Amino acid sequence: MRICVFGAGAVGSHFAVRLALAGHDVSCVMRGPHLEAVRANGLTLRAGEAEFKAEVSASDNPADLGPQDVVISTLKATGVSALAAGLQPLLRDNTAVVLAQNGIPWWYDIGLSAKHPPTPDLGFLDANSRLRAAIPRERIIGGVIYSSNEIIAPGVVANLSPDRNRLLIGECDDRHSERIARLRTALNEASIESPDVAEIREAIWSKLLTNMSMSVLCLLTGQTARGVRDEPALAEVIPRLLDEANSVAQSCYPEVKRVTRSGPAPAHKPSILQDFELGRAMEIDVLVRAPAAFARAAGLSTPMLDLMAGLAIRQARDKGLYLT
């Protein structure tokens, strides 16, 4: 397949190497020193003691790359507007667009099952409906990423989760389709786990549970996930916080597995804290505001989450990283 990874930072570069080495024609939309290094020397992935190198087409101008079979967007929610601006040259009639990001996606209500509770107004996730205009329903594939990576030098990405690298995918209306089956096969053959997913939004909430609670708590304390979990001063706080987060997720999908304080906690900083420390735009809307809107729509009392949301927004605004 011709596959373009749009926004190939750390995660996207990892996936690009895997897919290229599996025999696909892979291109990347990237920028800056990372782009220049890839043009000169190819793209390198380090995973444990192993090192993999792939030659991929790369440009900061999507028009250089031509029409694709699949576009996989690994842009953060704060940068996804670039997709609306740059996507058109990558499209042919049947090009699918995989939208893989943290939090509640802008397309959440598109193709939603009638059994789902009413959704709140999520218009703030897609200003002026630019994404809806650029990516019609028939192109949308939802995605959820589980993979920890970092760019350690321009053109070189290190995988920090060798035992857990997944891209869960599903149609926005959860139907079974030939293109989903074909793409899952391609991902699995490239050593990117992609098991069957019955409902893609349930998978979104399963990941969001941790991001909307523990990750935001990491932001407020400046600690790693493990540091927060093991902090004695937070021993009574975390269970109440997680109870509220579980209630919000289960108001939409009762089968979502509950997250508990005793669950696994990596000794690294979540992306929302990394963005704050590096002075980058933060995913406040998709990780904080949107879950809070779902809680209100469900009539749930979430004082812990509400307090954390207010503090997170204030903290981001004080550093000029959130302007809403």
| Signed CA dihedral, 323, 219, 16, 99: sign only | negative
Cβ distance 214 to 246 under 8 Å? no
Q: How far apart are CA 119 and CA 125, in angstroms?
A: 13
Q: Cα–Cα distances in Å, from 185 out to 103, 176, 256? A: 25, 14, 25
Task: Find, among 267, 281, 287, the residue nearest to 223 by Cα.
Answer: 267
Cβ distance 130 to 84 under 8 Å? yes
* 3-class secondary-structure state, position 51: strand
Phi-psi category of 310—alpha, beta or left, where left has phi over 0 and alpha has psi -120 to 50? alpha
The reply to whether 207 belongs to the active site is yes
Q: How far apart are CA 244 and CA 224, in angstroms?
A: 21
Number of residues written out for the chain: 324
C-alpha angle 287/290/293, rounded to 5°? Answer: 140
Report which secondary-structure segment, H or E, holds 74: none
Catalytic hit among 207, 257, 269, 319: 207
Residues 6+ apart with CB under 8 A from 5: 12, 13, 15, 16, 19, 26, 27, 28, 29, 72, 74
Report which secondary-structure segment, H or E, holds 168: strand 166-171
- DSSP states of 212-266: IIIIHHHHHHT--HHHHHT-GGGTTHHHHHHHHHHHHHHHH-TTSPPP-TTS---
Residues noted as catalytic: 207
